[in-house]
Amino acid sequence: MVRVLVLQHIACEPPGAYEDVLLERGATIHRVELDEGEPLPELDGFDAVVAMGGPMSVNDEGEYPWLVDEKRLIRRAAEEGVPFWGACLGVQLLASALGARVYAGTEPEVGMLPVRLTADGSADPVLGTLPTEFTTLQWHGDTFDLPRGAVLLAGSLAYPSQAFRLGRAYGVQFHLEVSVAMAKEWAGVPAYGKYLDRVLGPGSLPRLIQDVAEHEPELRDHGRRMFQAWIDTHVGART
């Protein structure tokens, strides 16, 4: 039985469709709510690590000191070949843990926006299961440099670094795991709601929720396909 460590940074950002796939595969999930002060377990005994999004920056170690230990665990997972999957904040944590710079982009990227695979992405056994260009939900303002030795798998016009891999560690900046219910929960978080109004303008929430609803089947189909390929290629091969 596969045992997966899930790192969450806010209750409303669970793995969504990714978690559905894990449960369907019979995986045992050990969830840690880091923002609630729950302690990190030892990495030993876990077959994979999944890190999700959150409202904080990876650089906010003074305000969130647990980020130091979390990045240490992520770095160890990557170095020891423990399969890792990071989404949004999760990919930024992976980049930071591996020594790359994470910083504010020129402008926030929020909404239903296209992402395009690189040539390496199209050839990748995980990201290559997706179309060359596909629609994603974006909700972030930070970006990252690639860690040394990493392979860029996808990019967008505003943010060229959208996905990368390094060994069995993968990270994606975009969201394919979301449902309409999850998006509504995000918008209900004061920090997220204010961010949305600032970027897209006051009253933009109904329009964004409608866009998510229109694309939800496609998002989750792509998310499930991609995540299943990661499990089959890397988690299954290791176990």
- What pLDDT, on the 0 to 100 scale, is given for residue 208? 86
Is residue 12 annotated as part of the catalytic site, yes or no? no
Is residue 222 annotated as part of the catalytic site, yes or no? no
We report the CATH number of the domain holding residue 140 as 3.40.50.880
pLDDT tens digits for 145-170? Answer: 999 999 999 999 999 999 999 999 99
Residue that has been written with the tokens 């002060």 in this structure: 37
Which of 177, 215, 222, 234 is an active site residue?
A: 177
Average pLDDT of the chain, as a whole number? 95
Is residue 175 annotated as part of the catalytic site, yes or no? yes
Counting runs of H as helices and runs of E as strands, what totals does the chain give? 8, 9
Which of 9, 175, 215, 234 is an active site residue?
A: 175
- What pLDDT, on the 0 to 100 scale, is given for residue 207? 87
Confidence check: pLDDT of 239 > 80: no
pTM over 0.85: yes
Which of 12, 19, 88, 215 is an active site residue?
A: 88
Confidence check: pLDDT of 223 > 70: yes
- What pLDDT, on the 0 to 100 scale, is given for residue 186? 81
Q: SS in 3 state form for the chain?
A: CCEEEEEECCCCCCCCHHHHHHHHCCCEEEEEEHHHCCCCCCCCCCCEEEECCCCCCCCCCCCCCHHHHHHHHHHHHHHHCCCEEEECHHHHHHHHHCCCCEEEEEEEEEEEEEEEECHHHHHCCCHHHCCCEEEEEEEEEEEECCCCCCEEEEECCCCCCCEEEECCEEEECCECCCCHHHHHHHHHCHHHHHHHHHHHCCCCHHHHHHHHHHHHHHHHHHHHHHHHHHHHHHHHHHC
- What pLDDT, on the 0 to 100 scale, is given for residue 238? 66
Q: Find the domain containing 17 and state its range.
A: 3-238
Count how many domains the chain has: 1
Question: Distance (Å, rounded) from C-alpha 171 to C-alpha 164?
Answer: 6
